[in-house]
Amino acid sequence: MLAHQEELSRRRIYHSFNPQGVGIIAASLLTFGTEEQKRKWAVPLLRAEITASLGMSEPGAGSDLAGLRTRAVLDGDHFVVNGQKVWTSGAHDADVLLTFVRTDPDAPKHKGISVLLIRTDSEGLARRPFASMTGTDDTDFNEVFFTDVAVPRENLIGELNKGWAVANGSLGHERTMLWIGYAERLEDLLRDAPSRAEWYASLLMDLQALRLLGYEQLSGGRNPAEVSVLKLFGSEAVQRATWHALEEHGQDGLMHPARTAPPNHMSHDAFATSWFERYARSFPGTIAGGTSEVHRNIIAERILGLPR
């Protein structure tokens, strides 16, 4: 996967396949699903016959996933789901949602959670896309509402009330996908940044460090928490680089590159934006897949062994 994305980045080919469906949801199904679920859902996802989105975050449960309140009640051979998800990337185009729900409201916070695969054409499910803070046209975020949505019991992924293990696995896949994306963005920034700048060397070292650490982790990292180092480092490296570039370009950094380029010249990047937009877009990177603060806590507790 890393080599594939790196080659696309070198050639400036920007892919539009279903990254969550392939990198997170299919991977989670292969880890936690039954053989029938793998055949029915994972294989079509990997073949790009269907798309999927991840239903984790809620208005009151973002980085604190264990605080989720979307409820699923088992009623015979199906669950009845009520609640809301938000920041659900790609939900408006998805065929199914891997949805984290509370099935035992009396259990401790990290227990009583289950995972359901829910078809987006289910009666009572509504999706509402909304724009990002940059105001661009590539709307990806969604609110998703569940009103008495019936979900077959056979769509339960993993064990009932033991969805926290699935959550950790899914988040691990998500964070791996994210840091690979950060390496791709740093590669892109490296080509566009002025090589005379003092911070250019730091950008180059950040990219190489991220790749080397990532290769080691993908080859069999001993501690799953190590991916938090990659996610934290990658997201903040992108933010540092875009801030330095914005400062370097001054007021021209507020303009789209096509407007500041010489006559009859267009940016070689069809998706080029101003440095200000790139910097603004770096902030979600320090939030998605767990905030920087969450990852610092994970690193402190699970890698360094520090007390809570």
Residues annotated as catalytic are 174
**25 φ, ψ (degrees, to nearest 5):** -75, -45
Name, in order, each residue with C-beta under 8 angstroms of 3's C-beta and a sequence gap of 6 or more: none
Residues 9, 180 contacting (CB under 8 angstroms): no
CA 140, 4, 201: angle at the middle one, nearest 5? 85
Residue found by looking up tokens 């990997």 in the block: 46
Q: Cα 155 to chain center, whole Å?
A: 23
Cα(286)–Cα(189) distance, rounded to whole angstroms? Answer: 17
- Phi/psi region, residue 177 (left: phi>0; alpha: psi -120 to 50; beta: rest), is alpha
Contact yes or no for 144/125 (Cβ under 8 A):
yes
Helix (H) or strand (E) holding 79: strand 78-85
